[in-house]
Structure 1
Amino acid sequence: MSITLTPEQESLVQSLLETGQFSTSEEVIQVALRLLKKAQQEEQAWIEETQAKIDEGFAALERGETLDGETFVNQLLERLEQRCDR
């Protein structure tokens, strides 16, 4: 596979090599790809967690477990105060 970098990307790779943190441009790319994969996995996990919370919320609504806005805000404020007091 052949990859063409923009001048800005080449400059970034070169500056990383000059720091001595990386030995080769291939190493820079390997680390970048590893970080990209990790970021994608974290994003997917966040999406799945968020979807599960949404599903839980809809299930609670279907069971009639609702709060009025004032009660919700008061409970939220109490939790925030408890965290600040720690």
Structure 2
Amino acid sequence: MNVSLTPELERFVDDKVESGLYNNASEVIREGLRLLKEHDEVRLRWREQIERGWLEAQSGRVIDGPKAMAAARERLKQAPKKRA
């Protein structure tokens, strides 16, 4: 597979290799693709959570803000204290 990069991206890849963090351009590209894949997976999970929340709201399964905050504060009060 051959990939064409803009001059700006080519300089970016070269800078990464020259920094010593990567041995060659292929490592930089692989890392970039791995991060893009991870980003896409996180984005998909967020979209799924948003969709689930939207459907719950549409069906009336929601808690108003003040009640939600009061419940969260109560859970925090009941949680065991952690030692530093």
Gaps of 5+ in 2: 78-84
- TM-score, normalising length from structure 1? 0.72
Work out the CA distance in 1 between the residues paired with 2:62 and 2:51.
Answer: 19
How far did residue 75 of structure 1 move?
Answer: 3.9
Does residue 35 of structure 2 align to residue 29 of structure 1?
no
Q: Could you say which residue in structure 1 is the equivalent of 2:17?
A: 17
Name segments (4+ residues, structure 1) moved above 6 Å.
none
Is 1:3 aligned to 2:10, yes or no?
no
TM-score, with structure 2 as normaliser: 0.74
Instruction: Give structure 1 stretches of 5+ with no counterpart.
Output: none
Q: How many residues align?
A: 76
Deviation at 1:14, TM superposition (A): 0.7
RMSD: 2.4
Is 1:44 the counterpart of 2:44 in the alignment?
yes
Q: Percent identity?
A: 27
